[in-house]
Structure 1
Amino acid sequence: MRGEPSLAPSNVVVCIATYRRPTGLKALLESLNTQEFSGPEPDVTLVVVDNDPANPAHATLGDLSALTRWPVIYVAENTRGIVAARNRALEEAPPDTDFFVFVDDDETVVANWLNALITTQLETGATAVQGPMVPRYETTPPTWIERLRIFDIGPFQQGEQLGFAATGNSLVDAHFVKAHGLRFDTRFNTSGGEDEEFFGRVREAGGVIRAAADAIAYDEVPTGRMTCGWVLRRAFRMGNTLGRVALLRRRGRGLRFLKGFGAAGRGLLYLFLLGPFSKAGRIRGLMEIWRGAGMLAAFVNFRFAEYSDTLVAGDRDSVT
């Protein structure tokens, strides 16, 4: 941890990994351009890492710096994968960076988003800060999607301590990251879950994660994700990530293995008790079963590649 937080302006790098979402990237940059601050404005730099050099975003959008009031470092990362893009963003950040902030190219943010993340860090001294993520649906979602809050993260109590953070809407102390040599693990390059693993190591190194209740990011949810099949696939991947992280840490492996059976057992219970009365109950049960199956699959070295080219193609902009 750093010492007492300073109220002086900070050097902030907003890290954006993008892949075939020029429309989403443009919307994100426009929302970043509306940012307001309650005190002195920090020095902000945007690092945009394009993970599709063959069809780069600038070919569609032109000079990205024209879309924002802040300096933009735009680079192409030839190695495909979410981890390669996130690590490149860390590497491209200026050496005097105080905070890394993560946001994705399918999100937009409220006007006080960055102010809320930074203020929470300064007030609490947290190593990392997580903001809520609120879904915006492309079309009207099924009732069970909203009832189960499939795509929501939060809401949170301001400043509450959390056991996780996600790279869709978070800040982390750059000095802490550098001091502990932290990078995203390349073994999660195509599977996703790299943020679960990364922020797990932040906590293991003594870091504390706090919530910024007002740092809201809106997550654009395409119609293709609002299906039972997609939701169960995500549940399997999340369970698979938890199992793989437990194996890598060599701590809690037996407990995680048991939790895999426990999740599957809870799922069956939900199916029998709630399934007959509501679709939400049935899907909740199935999600637990698939999450448990993902955990158990990790113990036989199965890795689910959620960010493979085939699976990613379905919810990206058409590119010519």
Structure 2
Amino acid sequence: MAIDLPDNITVFACSPELAPETIHVVVTLPTFKRPEHLLKTLRSLKEQNTPRHFAIIVMENEAEEQDGAKVAGPLFESGDYKGLVIIAHDRGNCNAYNAGWLTALKTFPNFKSLVVIDDDEIASPDWLENLLRTQETYGVDFVGGPQVPVFAKPEHQVWAKHPVFSPHYSQTGRVPIIYSSGNLLVSRKVLEAMPFPFLDITFNFMGGGDSDFISRSVVKGFTAAWCAEAPVFETIPERRVQADWIRARALRNGVISTLIEKRKRAQEPFGGLKTVLKSIALLALSPFRAIVKITQTGSLSIGLYQVYIGLGRILAEFGYSNEQYRQPEKN
């Protein structure tokens, strides 16, 4: 099947008799150096309880070894899975997403909803159907769902309540914004309305390109909801409960918060100054907020998260960016 794609996107594998015009939902699945877990994620998609006609686009972002494409490609070519495996040759989280979303638009003329799941996640059996029903019930353009952490060691489960791992919402319904694409539904009309590249590659190795994209979309008038009944289960390696990783992630989240707010206020009078003053205020208040959180939870790490967010917001004003995805073996 011929698809008009730019040179930095290559079709690695395609399922036979795909019939693109029959597809109403596209699930995009970026992958980078996780071939074994990619297969687990794919199996969970195969087990979805839904009558919807959906296709999967796997976006391999490791253009040299292509381990993910090599394990997934034969499964698509044999017809076990419906969809495509593509190579997103330009490295980076945002580039992978952009490649998959553009491929969806160019391949499937009738899809109405695009869904995202990561290659370190397992979808619950009713995940896809519940996301779609929530979209239909509330008439929104984005639907997010919880990413439930599954830790490598059972004793690490105490970290589930840490802000780095806990979901932003707990109940199904309309929400002002979604903060992550790790479990996300996007309506086609959002992709058709927003400029390409959808995710700003400034965020390629830092993360936050998804939050920035959703924020810009909400400013344009698109709406969001949360579906508590559509969890994915995210595998958390031991590395991510170490103090330096938690600290780096908190600082990064503060940096992203400042960058997104600067963009939102770009056209406001004194918008930059307002952002700086807010950052200073949040940093000044953070020790008191930390004390409250430590008292409530008994966790020093949860309390310090408030301080690191404030520090990250200030550091962003000096050009600091923590590109955790630059070295994936440390992430």
RMSD (Å), alpha carbons: 2.4
Alignment deviations for residues 216-264 of structure 1 (CA, whole Å, 9 cap, x no partner): 1001100110112111110100110011112233155444323323333
* Residue in 1 that maps onto 2:325: 307
- Tell me the CA shift for residue 293 of structure 1: 1.3
1:265 to 281, 284, 308: 284
Give the distance between the partners of 1:68 and 1:253, measured in 2 at CA.
Answer: 53
- Tell me the CA shift for residue 106 of structure 1: 0.2
2:25 is aligned with 1:12: yes
| Structure-2 change in CA distance of 1:162 and 1:62 (3 Å) | same
2:186 to 164, 169, 172: 172
* Structure 2 gaps, min length 5: 1-21
1:245 to 243, 260, 263: 260
* Residue in 2 that maps onto 1:188: 203
- Tell me the CA shift for residue 144 of structure 1: 5.3
Query: Which AA in structure 1 matches 2:218?
Result: R
Q: How does 1:138-153 map to 2 (within 5 A)?
A: 138-142=152-156, 145-148=159-162, 150-153=164-167
* Residue in 1 that maps onto 2:239: 224
Query: Which AA in structure 2 matches 1:128?
Result: F
The alignment partner of 1:164 has SS state of: coil
Give the distance between the partners of 1:144 and 1:260, measured in 2 at CA.
Answer: 30
Q: How does 1:42-53 map to 2 (within 5 A)?
A: 42-53=52-63
2:249 is aligned with 1:234: yes
1:291 to 309, 313, 328: 309
* Residue in 2 that maps onto 1:23: 36
Deviates more, 1:225-234 or 1:265-274: 265-274
- Tell me the CA shift for residue 284 of structure 1: 2.5
| Structure-2 change in CA distance of 1:147 and 1:108 (3 Å) | closer
Deviates more, 1:89-98 or 1:217-226: 89-98
2:114 to 80, 100, 103: 100
Say if 1:49 and 1:76, in contact at 8 Å, map to a contact too. yes
The alignment partner of 2:171 has SS state of: coil
Aligned pairs, how many? 301
| TM-score in terms of structure 2 length | 0.83
Give the distance between the partners of 2:81 and 2:329, measured in 1 at CA.
Answer: 31
Give the distance between the partners of 1:143 and 1:298, measured in 2 at CA.
Answer: 31
- Tell me the CA shift for residue 270 of structure 1: 4.9
Query: Which AA in structure 1 matches 2:64?
Result: A
Query: Which AA in structure 1 matches 2:46?
Result: N
Q: How does 1:73-112 map to 2 (within 5 A)?
A: 73-93=84-104, 94-112=108-126
The alignment partner of 2:149 has SS state of: strand
Give the distance between the partners of 2:178 and 2:164, measured in 1 at CA.
Answer: 17
Alignment deviations for residues 157-201 of structure 1 (CA, whole Å, 9 cap, x no partner): 222324224110010111232023361111111111011101001
Give the distance between the partners of 2:136 and 2:292, measured in 1 at CA.
Answer: 47
Say if 1:49 and 1:85, in contact at 8 Å, map to a contact too. yes
| Structure-2 change in CA distance of 1:264 and 1:142 (3 Å) | farther
The alignment partner of 2:310 has SS state of: helix
Deviates more, 1:181-190 or 1:156-165: 156-165
| Structure-2 change in CA distance of 1:175 and 1:272 (3 Å) | closer
| Structure-2 change in CA distance of 1:68 and 1:245 (3 Å) | farther
Aligned-residue sequence identity (percent) comes to 24
| Structure-2 change in CA distance of 1:60 and 1:71 (3 Å) | closer
| Structure-2 change in CA distance of 1:72 and 1:278 (3 Å) | closer
